[in-house]
């Protein structure tokens, strides 16, 4: 059994209205130090496999087929343990 953390983020240059709204709200709440905010998604996925290469291949496939929109998002497999 392996556990992976997958981070999905918008590509640079892609407008992030949710991030802008959060940034503006934080500034309005009294946090003027906040610069830019970018939103994203994090998935923690357990796989019933023991081979790291196989797990990475499965995760790549999951990301390209469902979890990330390759036109506007990038994904990173951060942990595989």
Whole-number pLDDT of residue 81: 86
Whole-number pLDDT of residue 54: 96
* Domain annotation covers residue 30: no
The Cα–Cα gap between 38 and 31 comes to 16
Backbone Cα Rg of the chain = 16
Could you list the mean pLDDT of each consecutive 10-residue stretch along the chain, which spans 81 residues? Answer: 97 97 98 97 97 96 97 94 86
Cβ neighbours of residue 60 under 8 Å, at least 6 residues apart? 77
- Provide the terminal-to-terminal Cα distance of the chain, rounded to the nearest Å: 8
Give the pTM: 0.86
* Domain annotation covers residue 16: no
Whole-number pLDDT of residue 23: 98
* Domain annotation covers residue 27: no
Angle at 3 between CA 43 and CA 73, to 5 degrees: 30
Whole-number pLDDT of residue 9: 97
Total structural domains within the chain: 1
């Amino acid at each position: 059994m392996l556990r992976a953390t997958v981070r999905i983020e918008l590509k640079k240059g892609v407008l992030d209205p949710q991030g802008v709204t959060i940034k503006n709200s934080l500034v309005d709440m009294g946090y003027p130090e906040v610069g830019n905010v970018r939103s994203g998604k994090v998935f923690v996925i357990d796989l019933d496999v023991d081979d790291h290469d196989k797990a990475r291949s499965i995760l790549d496939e999951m990301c390209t087929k469902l979890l990330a929109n390759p036109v506007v998002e990038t994904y990173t497999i951060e942990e595989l343990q």
